[in-house]
Each structure stands twice: as C-alpha cells, then as structure tokens.
Structure 1
C-alpha cells in the first residue's frame, strides 16, 4: 500500500482509482454516509483552526456608505443657481 501511495510500485503508471461501489466493497448509501461524516468533521476542524488563529491581520473594512457623511452646505440666497464668480471667489 505504501508503494502505491508514494508511486514506487512497479505498476504505478497503470494503477487507476476505481469507485468502491462498483467494486462491491460498499453500498452507495454507506459511501454517502461516510462522505457526509467526513465533511462534517473537516468543517469542525477548520472552524477550530480559524478560532485559534487570530493573529495580526487586516482589520475588517468599514462600509463606505455609512462611514461618509457629507458636510451640509449653507443655503444660498440666489435661488440655487451658481455663477462662476461664486465658485472662484476664494482663488483671487
């Protein structure tokens, strides 16, 4: 078995994986149960690993829309129309 795993078996180029249900080693229901059990176990291990690893990293991004609050501009008395003089009055 180890020779097959590390590909040192004399016939390793011709060895192909075969479905265990096709070979009659188990039923499809048994295989599905084992796969589901394995997937649950893996999810739990990954969740535990994620909890343990809380080292330095990036901080979560803030929502740009809620973080930005535009300044309120005072109401203009000219009826909402803006002239070029109003825009450039601070540049002279």
Structure 2
C-alpha cells in the first residue's frame, strides 16, 4: 500500500462548496486546494451538481486559517497551504480494477444513457472504463433493447459517483481530438455563445420592460389617486 500525503482536506467537496459560497477565491485556487477538477468546482458554483452537499468551513476543521484565505484572495496566483495535521499518513490500496458499490450498480444504465446522449464523442471503450460496463450493454442502450430502456433516466456519472470529473473530462477531450476537434477551442466557442445569448436575453428583457412602462395607462392611475 502507498502512503497518502495529508496535504488535502478530509472533505474536499464540502470544503469546495464552502469556499465557493464564502470567499472570492478563483475556481483554480479552490480546485488546487481540494484536489478536485476545476470543471467540478465550476459545476458546484453553477449548482449543476452537488445541491445536497452541505458546505463545511475548513477554518473550523483546522485545515485553513482566515489569514491564509485572505492572503490568497488578494493574489489569484497564490496557493492555499493546508495546516499540518497530527497523525500518521493514511494508507491507500494500489490502483486496480474499478469497483462499483452494489448500491450504485443499478445507476450504470442511466450514466451510460447520459454519456451517449450528451457526449457522443466518447467512444464505447472509454465509456467502459468510466462506468465499468461492457460494450454489449452500451449498444443495448443505444438501440433501446436494454431490458430497462423505458425507465432510463440519463444522469451524469460524476453525480452518481461512478467516475470523477477529471476522468470524464479526459475522455471527452480524447474523443473530440479523435474527431479532429480542438477541445479548448470548442469550450471557448460555447462560452462565447452562452455569453452572447445571455446578453441578448438581457436586451430583450430590458426592451420588454420599456414597452410595458410605455403602455402603462396613467389616466386610470390618476383617477384612482384622486378618489
């Protein structure tokens, strides 16, 4: 067994949620401190996942000081330094085949359906590695011959705990590159499109508010005020 260095918080997700809600640290700083993928931090901030996670203060846990957080808030390039904990280093088993708890095995079809629907660039071989499934199972979900096809509910495998954000992101990037697509360029294009749509929606809302104001019948208002 290898020793795990105690330089990360004991509850990384709870710490991440708290830091997002209570500090001005960047997503990169929080990701570096917790050991989570920056995409996962972004998803927590957008409340796309992790709504049931209760934030836990790393200050109260004795892992950070308020001064350390303030130092890093002032310098976006600074890295949070966790306080040393007493006790021996934790031991972890060497990496082996992916094990899925019995309680989560029924979630696999939903996870496969999610990847097939939202990330068609991910190959079947990559899905097998991410979820711990077989190619025949994936194919049965694709062609809707799976025994539970009528009840499938596509759900993010990271939310189900079947793989990490880093693993899913790596598979997506690999799939896009295999198609000759630059993952970073695509992500930038999507972000720009989302920003443009948000700006357009804001303009539409502002225009509608102006129209509503212009069409307001002041005569009725004056009559009611004079009574």
Same fold flag (TM > 0.5)? no
Instruction: Name the TM-score class by shorter chain.
Output: 0.3 to 0.5
Higher helix share: 2
Normalization by structure 1: what TM-score?
Answer: 0.39
Higher relative contact order (CA 8 A, sep 6+): 2
Normalization by structure 2: what TM-score?
Answer: 0.18
Give the structure with higher Rg (CA): 1
